[in-house]
Structure 1
Amino acid sequence: MVDMKNRSAIAIWKGCDPTVADAIRQFRDCWEPYSAESKRYPICRLVEQLIDPAMATYTATLPSLYMGHIPGAGTGVAFSEIMRLVGVDTMIRLQRRLLRAFVLTEDRQSERDQQYVATLETLIELVWACKRKQPAEQDVCGLNRRRLRVFCRLCGTLAELASFAEAAEAAEDLDAKSDQWINEQLRMSQLRGADEELRLSNLYCQAHRPKLPDNKWNPAYRKAKRSIEQFDLELARVSRQCASRGTPQAKSGDELVDSYIHNYMLGQTLQLADEAKLRNLARLMVDSRLSDRKKQILMLQRLDFNQSEIARRLGIERQAVSKAIASIPEIFRLSRPQ
């Protein structure tokens, strides 16, 4: 079970090779001071120490046709070295392309293939977690990284402070006096007012910050704040379902609701690592008023119940069913099985 409240969690897919899974658990237990940004504790060094030996042991058991779908396997270049050479972002894209190629060309759904896919998915989760991992303590452009909360509390957009730090880091990589850096500061000054001290929210994005530039309450913030418990609930459900796609995992307490979320997520390409997209999906569910009652109705529709049968099954009026269906956005409707 993946701890969804812990941003440092690394999802280990069911069926992953035991040697690789054990190495990732050890990695997770001792990676606190490590990050991709740290010079004293570079995270690639920890990957080299713990993951490379496990990968060598695992790949030694594989036929040669599997090797081309694991970065570095069979070439004499370690997994950590590939990660160091191409960078974390490129490594994630490379892994996904190689996995997709395997599924399309070689996967026969044998027991070995299923373990191989689960292991590759787990390695993608590992590299994605390395990308997100923040240093234990580090200042970026005068901002204390301990304050950085990457995502807005209410959606999948970067919080203002994290967004500003990201723009500052990008500008530093180019030129601290570049036009990008100057324009960013001017834009933020215009948003806050030229005479007001620059204050960046650690909890909210620009759209959801509590106060507008004119110091009035933000209606979008108030609306989202009222539904924060439902947002957290929907986010936990879709995240649990992404962690294990084979069976209903939402754990809502209602079989129809769980089945709806399971079937809906099967039609998506989201993975547990796609945290921003999952947060935005949860926000959309809440803002669209996709209640559990509507999820039940949608699932019964997929099972070929008509409106009268749905009403009898749920103990409500048929008119209520019709009204609920009319209010559901097309994006949340399920296609009926062939």
Structure 2
Amino acid sequence: MNMKVNKLHIALWFSVILAGCSSGENTSSESAKHISLNVKTEEVIQFKGSHTVGYSGVVVPKKNTPLSFSVPGTVSKIAVEEGQQVNKGQLLAQLNPSTMENTYQMAFQKLQQAQDAYNRLMPMHENGTLSEIKWVEVETGLSQAKSATAIAKKGLDDTKLYAFTAGVIGKKSIQEGENVFPNITVFELFDISKVYVKIPVPEDEISSFKKGDQAIITVGAISKTITGIVREIGVSADIFSHSYPVRLEVDNSDLAIKPGMVCTVNFATQNKATGVLISNKAMQQDLQGTQFVYVIENNTAQKRAVKTIALIDQKILVSGNLKEGDKIIVAGQDKLRQGSQVNIIK
């Protein structure tokens, strides 16, 4: 009997404790709802008119030609460095010619022997004292010796690598003393008299691009602004970013623009856009990728979904359930949630 009473008392005590904890949690939760979080705000501005659409791009050479030796060997001389301007026919590098030189000398000596035999036996062939079979052997030997000598001469010539056209050495992949193999790239020769600026364009914007479109391009590294013309529009999207590559051609006759430089590319839109301008500090994004901002309503933070249209003068042009004069939160969003009470500070 006593054991039953004790168990009943224990059960009652646990109920009281749990009720107290639950009451405490509810009280804390209710208190949290009434805590005002400090935030900063800006007012939404109505916009209607034309604008520019900006992209970030990188300079790439219009033409990139890999250069390689056609024979194996050891590098004995490198005549150029990366970034050096070279002319057509200029020597770039050379392999040790010893082996090829010996091969050529052997072939040349055999050619001389074959030519001598041909010259000595020709009179006998002409007066009929030399058999036709023997004369065919002589002619064949001379022809083979000429071919072998030509091949050996080409191998010797190929120990030197020349620029087949004018350009800039974009990359050097060899060192003196290094062994190289045929058809392995040792230099990359860039043609940068004209360059391309490559930009990624989102899939929902690519349909507005046409070949021949012009854009204003600013290369920050050299503080230069030029005009570019769309020459290539990609047809295959990047599987991760879902963007298409677009290339704009830029004149670079002074060679001031170098491959790899980052630039901004601005296109003037033909159609007028309507929306509201907000600070980029206000823009938020949830785990699903949906863009939103917090708007002040009755001293509480309310989520409003928005969609970016364009960037205009350090502001973001968006569409959504916003109107001019709405106060959006631009600082202090980290701890906010839907319906949080807020206190506006300056």
TM-score between the two structures when normalised by the length of structure 2? 0.18
User: Max radius of gyration: which structure?
Assistant: 2
More strand by share: 2
Higher relative CO (CA 8 A, sep ≥ 6), structure 1 or 2? 2
More helix by share: 1
TM-score between the two structures when normalised by the length of structure 1? 0.18
